[in-house]
């Protein structure tokens, strides 16, 4: 038989438990720290240092390897606005930071500035490939959208106050961003650019000589259709657009300025006839479309005798006014709900009649109105009453007639039209009054 100890020494039970717990606690802590459960939520990204240009990495999907630079002022507001400032060819995010006043304006008004930066050899943004001209298509716009998303998550940015601006290649990208992501951007300001889709190529080339030479022209409807095709089925509000161009531009010729106006007035459903015009600076001719104030749906500034490199200090401040950010804290914006629209249709086999009632729900009278809406696919207006309609299909603008152009606060006007259809007899689902979205 094996020898067994006689009268072994026993430790008190409490002492044993304490020893066991002392050993188990570090193990449990290590397990919790190194093996999160499947339901654990990702942490919000750390905020960037303030008052300095900072590069942010790992900001999200970035198929074309863009770099993201960020400027956050010391005075950043709660739920800040965001401005995406896009550089010119041969430029960079840091160059855009150094050579424009967006950072100093951010210091003054408390918004955040994003500076995307190209890494490809040309230092030009992709505004020509099929991938770039489609929402989520897999090129530069996707990376820029990821930058906006990162800022929105990190700083709880105001989704109603996200803007894009750019110079030359950056101006072309501004047009592209507003077309690809109309649900993200509230407005844009393009300095020496071309319309969305004008630079399109299918051979892999970044350059389109016909567009740069000013020989690509389309009807407003055709230009508008190019924008709408970037996000098929989208019926929500569209961003406002400010465009700048020099009459002597020898890189992106001046006719592109007029084509941009045609495109964005059509997209926003406003008349191509200016609602207002003035000369804010000698040699500058400014026209506004759809409204007369600083935040009209479309604003266009033509600079007499100026070439491609038109950007000078002070212009960003004017873009800021167009954005509505030139006051501390959240700036007033064109507010949805200043108008209300109800619409119904009465259909038969291949035709229908529509009745549309527009109500001015603002506190001021409207003197002259244009009602924008998009007809469902397959519908074509054959005649109408209470307004003039142009064009007859697609994005339609209904303009008041002589006897109903003034709408007092809370006053309504009823208009209507007859249309052919190929199966879809529904009423339009979204309307804009002088460029501002109406409630349904």
Give the C-alpha separation, 113 to 159, whole Å: 14
Give the C-alpha separation, 362 to 337, whole Å: 8
Neighbours of 401 (CB within 10 A): 13
Give the C-alpha separation, 328 to 101, whole Å: 17
Query: Radius of gyration of the chain from Cα atoms?
Result: 28
In sequence order, which ranges of 181-323 are alpha helices (DSSP H)? 209-212, 220-229, 255-267, 315-323
Whose structure tokens read 């109406």? 438
> Is residue 168 annotated as part of the catalytic site, yes or no?
yes
Considering the candidates 64, 146, 168, 212, report the single residue annotated as catalytic.
168
Residues of the chain by 3-state class (helix, strand, coil), percent to 5: 25, 25, 50
> Helix, strand, or coil here: 16?
helix
How, if at all, do strands 387-390 and 380-385 pair? unpaired
Give the C-alpha separation, 403 to 156, whole Å: 47
Torsion sign over Cα 143, 149, 152, 153: negative
Chain-centroid distance, C-alpha 406: 31
- Residues annotated as catalytic are 168
């Amino acid at each position: 038989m094996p020898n067994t100890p006689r009268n072994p020494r026993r430790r008190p039970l409490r002492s044993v438990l304490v020893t066991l717990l002392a050993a188990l606690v570090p193990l449990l802590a290590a397990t919790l720290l190194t093996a999160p459960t499947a339901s654990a939520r990702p942490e919000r990204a750390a905020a960037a240092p303030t008052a300095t240009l900072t590069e942010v990495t790992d900001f999200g999907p970035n198929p074309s390897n863009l770099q993201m630079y960020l400027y956050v002022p010391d005075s950043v507001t709660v739920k800040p606005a965001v401005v995406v400032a896009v550089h010119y060819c041969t430029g960079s995010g840091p160059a855009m930071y150094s050579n424009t006043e967006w950072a100093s304006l951010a210091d003054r008004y408390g918004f955040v500035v994003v500076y995307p930066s190209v890494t490809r050899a040309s230092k030009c943004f992709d505004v020509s490939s099929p991938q770039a001209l489609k929402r989520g298509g897999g090129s530069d716009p996707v990376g820029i959208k990821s930058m906006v998303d990162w800022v929105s998550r990190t700083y709880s940015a105001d989704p109603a106050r996200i803007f894009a601006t750019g110079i030359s290649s950056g101006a072309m990208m501004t047009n592209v961003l507003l077309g690809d992501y109309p649900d993200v951007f509230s407005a844009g300001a393009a300095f020496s650019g071309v319309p969305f889709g004008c630079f399109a190529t299918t051979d892999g080339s970044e350059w389109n000589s016909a567009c740069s030479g000013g020989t690509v022209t389309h009807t407003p409807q055709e230009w508008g259709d190019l924008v709408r095709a970037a996000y098929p089925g989208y019926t929500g509000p569209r961003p406002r657009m400010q465009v700048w161009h020099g009459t002597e531009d020898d890189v992106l010729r001046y006719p592109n300025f007029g084509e941009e106006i045609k495109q964005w007035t059509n997209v926003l459903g406003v008349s191509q006839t200016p609602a207002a015009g003035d000369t804010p600076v000698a040699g500058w001719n400014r026209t506004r479309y759809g409204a007369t104030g600083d935040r009209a749906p479309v604003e266009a500034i033509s600079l007499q005798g100026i070439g491609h490199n038109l950007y000078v200090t002070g212009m960003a401040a004017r873009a800021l006014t167009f954005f509505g950010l030139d006051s501390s804290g959240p700036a007033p914006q064109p507010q949805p709900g200043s108008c209300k629209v109800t619409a119904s249709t009465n259909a038969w086999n291949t035709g229908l009649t529509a009745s549309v009632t527009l109500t001015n729900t603002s506190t001021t009278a409207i003197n002259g109105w244009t009602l924008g809406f998009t007809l469902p696919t397959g519908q074509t207006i054959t005649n109408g009453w209470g307004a003039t309609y142009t064009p007859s299909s697609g994005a339609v603008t209904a303009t008041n007639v002589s006897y109903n152009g003034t709408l007092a606060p809370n006053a309504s006007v009823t208009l209507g039209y007859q249309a052919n259809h190929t199966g879809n007899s529904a009423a339009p689902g979204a309307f804009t009054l002088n460029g501002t979205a109406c409630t349904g």
